[in-house]
Structure 1
Amino acid sequence: MDFNKIIYTRPDYDTYKENITLYISELKNTRTFEEFDNLFNKINKLRDKVQTMKVYSEIRYSINTKDSFYEKENVYWDEKSPLYDSLDNIFYRAVLGSTYKINIIEKYGQQYYRLLNCRLKSFSDKIIYLLQKENILMSQYTRLLASAKILFDNKICNLSDLSIYMSSNDEKIRRSSIKAHTSFFEENEDKFDSIFDQLVKIRHEMAKRMGYENFIELAYYRMDRTDYNPKMVDQLRKNVRETYISQVNKIYKNQAKRIGVDKISYYDEKLDFLEGNAKLVGDGNYIIEQGKIMYSQMSNESKEFYDFLTNNNLFDVEARESKAMGGYCTFLNSYREPFIFGNFNGSVDDIDVLTHEAGHALQMYLSREIKVPELLFPTLDTCEIHSMSMEFFTYPWMKLFFGEDEEKYKTYHYESAIKFLPYGCLVDHFQHEIYKNPNMSPVQRKNKWRELEKIYMPNRDYQDLDLLDRGGYWFRQGHIYKDPFYYIDYVLAQLCALELYELMQVDYKKAWSIYIKMCKVGGEYSFIELVENSGLKNPFKEI
């Protein structure tokens, strides 16, 4: 389905509730597994319709946060999503309580059962009103970031627009753009603190009402973590500290030599080469067109997939005023198609949209025939293997986008992948500290960030950027506000992607074959199962 031809209709909750409740009642009284399975699939089709309208509305709202119609729809979904989740919970209980457990596991796998247990442990009608409040606050955060209107270079810029200036090889431009970017967060410091403070307290209250000591245990269930726990994650962070901080220190020393400074300050972090960073040789339309060449040459699967995206307008990557920040890939269940959202700004980040988000989209495309919504795509730790690995698989085609700067881009990208690992662990460690101590004040939270930052990123020198030196960098990390405890998934996936990259250099076809198989199985296996089934190292055991 062409995205522009999709017709949005707000679901009527009461009608949906009546229909799905009737189906669930019938499901409980089935006399054969065949009857059960038919009703199971009917219920999932109904759920798909609701999810599709929700996702479509979210995309439209992301495209223009000032669209009055989708602003209202966003309010509707903030309020109603937990009520739909409650109905899902009733369905999950009916499935788990069924006498056909052996048949269900035989057809849909053990991981499906594990996921349903996670869903039941992460939701209760007791917390619906808290989930509604959480949704409203997360939407406030999205609007606050999108509200940025910063006068720079004789034009009004949003936060994304400033990225290209922040990596300029002109020190004056680089410094002034970074100061302008930071000023937005300084001017809105109280708002960022207030939103987060409310989110922490709401999430802690959810956990207490669900019978947990704090939000951490609840968050792991919300993240569908079926085979690892906080103790294992703590060990992973320790492994990264011991293995990668020294490597990152060397990378920064080499970068300092390349750009002719004694030590890298925050103002220099985004400058990789003295004569200037890798530059794209074309605009957004050019990138999309060159992507067609790249994916057509990569494999039959990737050619078919990319043609499908472009032919059905399943991209929105142009930066515009009032557009939500960042990039993401999502899925429209009823149409079995992924959608990629981004903000092209002329920087190397544009290529990440074409590679990282397309990695997500390719996995969704290849597993689109899996009809069970919970198994269509895997848990987020595995999802990020697909996206981060695709960034490396596209290396042979980077000349299409960077011309003579091809090697510059590869150096930047590989070094960034290594630099990221301690930062990803920092975000995760920070969140564990925050939710263990939910009554921290805003000042204490910033102090804790800065304390951990000095452990994981000892090279970081903010100089005269007061808010950042006081520990306010995390304001810009949307996952901390909107997707708590997500970030360690990127670390896990990056370690796997780096292992695949090593294999690519020896046997590209073998690496690609492993990758495609991982994509096709969707979410049928847990993270550790999929990694070990694919012949990759378990990151919790060895780096």
Structure 2
Amino acid sequence: MSVDPTASFPDFAYERPDLEANEAAFRAVLEKLESAGSINEAIAAVEQIDSIRAAVATAYNICYVRYSIDTRDEFYKEEKAWFDQHLPATEAWRMDYYRTLISSAHREALEAKFGRQLFNTAELSIKTFQPELIEDLQAENKGYSEYTELKGGAQIELEGTTYNLSSIIPLEQVADRAARKRASKAKWDWMGEHQERMEAIYGDLVKLRHSMAQKLGYENFVPLGYARMNRTDYGPEQVANFRKQVKQFIVPIAKDLAAKQAERIGVDRLRYYDNNFRFPDGNPTPVGEMGDTIAAARKLYDGLSEETGFFFRMLEDRKLMDLESKDGKATGGYCTYINDYGAPYIFSNFNRTSHDVDVLTHEFGHAFQVYSSRHQKPMEYNWPTYDAAEIHSMSMEFFAYPGVPDFFGDDAKKYLYGHLEGAIRFLPYGCAIDEFQHLVYENPHWTAADRNAAWKRLEAEYLPHIDYTDHPFLSQGTYWQSQLHLFGMPFYYIDYCLAQICAFQFWLKDEENHEKAWEDYIRLCRAGGSKGFLELVTLAGLENPFLDGVMEKIAAKVTERLGELS
């Protein structure tokens, strides 16, 4: 199917792929790669395989975006279910490709052409799949889709009005403590009403993933989870040391900041409905309506660089963003890439809180990166692994600071303080989610109550400043059930923490020398996924976030700046 590379997203053609025909074409090219008589023939085969895989990915991502925009749309709901059922079979193609690639007679020349990272990915990935796992992968997709649709369809009644999980958030941030308690309670009451279903979905996913790991010869899902995340240059030991440093250097800062927040807003202790209310006269709110936020972003990116100005206008012109919260829309925000159109897509749920700016600048960072590396070959290099990818997005939040006065007007200073404070306070939560996953997959026999008890213990270690005792659902240790990554992307969360330490470094570099910081950032974006995480960190001129001392040094600088802003 031919595509118009200048088309707008509503005009992107969707057609369910003929996987049987795709596989036949794929295997014909695979034979050419295996029997290639020259390096040029081998390179041509790799590029043809890329083209076939990209066509399937294009169809899936168009479907996924349209399904996310309205999870009640029967056509795309059915198409998404079809992909959930059939896409796992394409993993067999990919693994056969990787086996052929690493055993190629032209391997040395292929490495010289495409780089070592492709082969690192291939060698690690073939340890994650066997054909007998296809039904398990189908079931895994189905479980995540069920969780997504459950939350996307949330109807929360409050004082005669119906809200969803995104639109109720502004009510949780009002100055009237009783009012925000009613809103927050209503939201968490809804979660409590669906607790049994969410726990059952997650319990089934844990058992399923443990079973897959054992079929592949692993003791449990932890090493398989790391391999599926394509972590080629670090493992659980380095991550455990990172979490240890967060407990040592960041948790005390977060606890102190929470105490200052409680004093600032006039409460004795932060309850669950106080946590997101940061200032006594109200949280920073974007000026005007959604169109004003878009206009401020356009001005920001026009001023940041020629590349970003052009790119933001392209996103607008080609309708590559869906930002407004709507009923039936999947929760959260993401950026994906529609290969054949060379088009990133930004998905979000604006609700007129400061989070609108956070998520827009964050996802713009992802989109700008993948657009910058769209010409990278093979397609494995369009995106880096998630840990590196989050450097682009979280750093872009800091590069966006010059636009804060246009986004927030008189609330600009409050936003800068809140964003920086939120970034440092996120680290303990992110590490708690990661340690929780390690515990869960190391103990696959745990009941739902065991998992909740484990989360409650982790809250006491990482988040001692939050009090959930007056909500029957949250007091059990159930907050984790709202975190979609746990259900759909196991072990994808420490990535945000690693990237946050790198993003702080970009922020500090940017304040010292903007031109040099931006040059390093562009170089990182263009590299895509052509190198592993630690190699990309070095390429960007950043310090390794795992090394002792790096976090302590950054924490001190962030604390100093917060003191200046308070």
TM-score range, shorter chain: over 0.9
Pair 1:12-2:9 in alignment: no
What is the deviation of 1:153? 4.6
Of 195, 201, 209 in structure 2, the residue corresponding to residue 189 of structure 1 is 195
Pair 1:147-2:153 in alignment: yes
3-state SS of paired residue (1:398) = helix
Structure 1 residue aligned with 2:364: 358
TM-score (norm 2): 0.95
* 525-534 or 176-185, larger mean C-alpha shift: 525-534
**2: CA distance between counterparts of 1:89 and 1:384?**
26
Structure 2 residue aligned with 1:300: 306
Of 280, 284, 291 in structure 1, the residue corresponding to residue 286 of structure 2 is 280
**1: CA distance between counterparts of 2:26 and 2:168?**
48
**2: CA distance between counterparts of 1:417 and 1:452?**
19
**1: CA distance between counterparts of 2:99 and 2:343?**
29
**2: CA distance between counterparts of 1:22 and 1:314?**
35
Of 373, 378, 385 in structure 2, the residue corresponding to residue 372 of structure 1 is 378
* 48-57 or 164-173, larger mean C-alpha shift: 164-173
Structure 1 residue aligned with 2:341: 335
CA deviation vs aligned residue, 1:58-91 (integer Å, no higher than 9, x gap):
1110011111111110111001111111111111
Structure 1 residue aligned with 2:492: 486
Structure 1 residue aligned with 2:219: 213
**2: CA distance between counterparts of 1:150 and 1:131?**
32
Of 393, 397, 407 in structure 2, the residue corresponding to residue 387 of structure 1 is 393
**1: CA distance between counterparts of 2:204 and 2:126?**
25
**2: CA distance between counterparts of 1:262 and 1:188?**
31
What is the deviation of 1:262? 2.8
**1: CA distance between counterparts of 2:135 and 2:511?**
52
Q: What aligned pairs does 1:120-139 form with structure 2 within 5 A after superposition?
A: 120-139=126-145
3-state SS of paired residue (2:323) = strand
3-state SS of paired residue (2:14) = coil
Of 264, 273, 291 in structure 1, the residue corresponding to residue 297 of structure 2 is 291
Pair 1:449-2:455 in alignment: yes
What is the deviation of 1:265? 2.2
**1: CA distance between counterparts of 2:32 and 2:370?**
31
TM-score (norm 1): 0.99
What is the deviation of 1:533? 2.6
Q: Residue 406 of structure 2 aligns to which amino acid in structure 1?
A: L
Q: Residue 225 of structure 2 aligns to which amino acid in structure 1?
A: A
Structure 2 residue aligned with 1:83: 89
**2: CA distance between counterparts of 1:137 and 1:503?**
43
The answer as to whether partners of 2:259 and 2:465 remain within 8 angstroms in 1 is: no
Of 174, 178, 194 in structure 2, the residue corresponding to residue 172 of structure 1 is 178
Structure 2 residue aligned with 1:413: 419
What is the deviation of 1:102? 1.0
Structure 1 residue aligned with 2:442: 436
**2: CA distance between counterparts of 1:520 and 1:477?**
31
**2: CA distance between counterparts of 1:12 and 1:185?**
39
**1: CA distance between counterparts of 2:192 and 2:512?**
48
CA deviation vs aligned residue, 1:362-390 (integer Å, no higher than 9, x gap):
10111111131111110000000000001
The answer as to whether partners of 2:46 and 2:378 remain within 8 angstroms in 1 is: no
3-state SS of paired residue (1:486) = coil
3-state SS of paired residue (1:338) = strand
What is the deviation of 1:290? 1.8
Pair 1:231-2:234 in alignment: no
3-state SS of paired residue (1:330) = strand
**2: CA distance between counterparts of 1:122 and 1:288?**
42
What is the deviation of 1:499? 1.4
Q: Residue 333 of structure 2 aligns to which amino acid in structure 1?
A: G
- Percent identity between the aligned chains? 39
**1: CA distance between counterparts of 2:513 and 2:270?**
36
**1: CA distance between counterparts of 2:16 and 2:261?**
52
3-state SS of paired residue (1:306) = helix
Of 472, 476, 487 in structure 2, the residue corresponding to residue 470 of structure 1 is 476
Of 457, 461, 466 in structure 1, the residue corresponding to residue 467 of structure 2 is 461
What is the deviation of 1:92? 1.2
> How many residues are paired up?
543
What is the deviation of 1:152? 2.2
Unaligned runs of 5+ in 2: 1-6, 552-566
Structure 2 residue aligned with 1:505: 511
CA deviation vs aligned residue, 1:259-305 (integer Å, no higher than 9, x gap):
12233222211111101111111222221122111100111111111
Structure 2 residue aligned with 1:73: 79
**2: CA distance between counterparts of 1:264 and 1:172?**
14
Pair 1:251-2:245 in alignment: no
What is the deviation of 1:534? 2.1
Of 505, 524, 530 in structure 1, the residue corresponding to residue 536 of structure 2 is 530
Unaligned runs of 5+ in 1: none
3-state SS of paired residue (2:15) = coil
Structure 1 residue aligned with 2:353: 347
**1: CA distance between counterparts of 2:153 and 2:74?**
15
CA deviation vs aligned residue, 1:406-463 (integer Å, no higher than 9, x gap):
0001111100000000110000000000000001000010000001110011111113
